[in-house]
Amino acid sequence: MEKDSMGEMEVPADAYYGASTQRAVLNFPISGQPFPRRFIRALGIIKKAAAQTNRELGLLARRRARAITAAAQEVIDGKLDAQFPIDIYQTGSGTSTNTNANEVIANRATEILGRERGSRVIHPNDHVNLGQSSNDVIPSAIQLSAAMAIDEELIPALDQLRKALEAKSREFWPIVKTGRTHLQDATPIRLGQEFKGYAGQMEESIRRARGAIDELSRIPLGGTAVGTGLNSHPQYARSAAARLAKATGLPVKETPNHFHAQATLDAVVAAHGALRTIATSLWKIGSDIRLMGTGPIAGLGELRLPETQPGSSIMPGKVNPVIIESMLMVIARVYGNDLTVLVSGQSGSLFELNVMMPVAGVATLESITLLAASVRNFSERCVTGLQATDRGPELVERSPMLATALNPVIGYDEAAKIAKESIRTGRSIRQLARGRGVSESTLTKVLDLGKMTKPGLEGPGGG
């Protein structure tokens, strides 16, 4: 038997959680999905920092602080994950899960002191939750867990893909192919230049991911119920944030405005906006590579994608771009999560508290985890194994857009006529220009494909 402010409640005999947690388990039989490991870890880090800070400030006895710190460390290490059974679709402030953590840590700390769990030698509210409220702990845990996930999972995966794309850029640099705008032929481009563009997208994605960490690192911890800091020491927030920064290696600091930080999910909305932009960059890269790999006979066929598995149960020898397809599905999920976070931030922010925090936090963590895994998979099982075919160089010689290089020689209007005649007759630009009296030496100079892939007015026109 355990008890809380509402009375007694039966809990499983082996449970560290108490009556309030059990009530929440019964009240929210929604999805069967509890908070993920990363969030529980962040919650443990916060509770540990709080105990150490309160001990330093003289608010918590040394013996109790040590026991709470040890119990919180077990939460951090994942030893007590089974003790966090509450569904994510619960009270919008996440109070049930904060109370869950308080009860688990209190009972485990009581055991560490050699006393019987449930005896409240260490009280979940008076000791573990000292100087805190669910209203500042839960958003801080959301932001902290997301920042750590970006730092530990997403950025390394993006950097791995960046390096793979840069390697392919160098490998493909000698290959000149037809550029495309509006899905129509354009002036020549190096295949390596296209991949340099993709690598640049990953450089920007890493910068945006770091910006998201900066957004998330200004936490509302210390504002307690409504941002005023009631029942917390004036130095608590700054000291606890410093401990969190040391524990995570991230630039964690107290928010300069607790009323804003607790009343909204603006930081999470902004951070997920960066994830959405990263996902959009990945969509472009994956789609381009998939299109260049279409065929092998009836498509563009400029790239040969790695053969990872049979592509059909009926068509022998068929190979599909399945790694890219899996990544695009992840991106679709990220877009859905972005809308969830946006609606949570918009609709859940009422007066002094946002009341859609749990789903926004879980959606953000899912986006980070899925993006990191799919980016790593895309890098390892697709990009590194890409091969260029002869198709690109073959097609560029027949491209009517080579007429662009004739602009400085015969003018735009005449060059346009040649381009249209090339499309209509299938004859090459070189043949048609020669028929209009352009000298062979001039053609050799202006139709130098390599020079057409860089700026210039002398010789090939930049277009």
Residues with a known catalytic role: 182, 312
> What Å distances lie between residue 363 and 39, 44, 184, 226, 263, CA to CA?
12, 20, 38, 25, 19
The single residue listed with the structure tokens 């869950």 is 100
End-to-end CA distance of the chain: 80
Cα angle 145, 146, 151; round to 5: 100
Which residue has tokens 């917390």?
Answer: 232
Would you list the DSSP string of 32-62? Answer: S-B--HHHHHHHHHHHHHHHHHHHHTTSS-H
How far is the C-alpha of 455 from the C-alpha of 463, rounded, in Å? 9
What dihedral angle (degrees, nearest 10) is formed by the CA atoms of 408, 413, 415, 417? -170
According to DSSP, residue 228 is labeled: S
Q: Name the burial class of residue 11, with classes exposed (0-12), middle (13-18) and buried (19+) by CB atoms within 10 angstroms of its CB.
A: buried
What tokens appear for 227 in the block? 């941002």
Q: What is the residue type of 328?
A: L
CB neighbours of residue 58 within 10 Å: 8
Dihedral sign for Cα atoms in the order 450, 451, 453, 459: negative
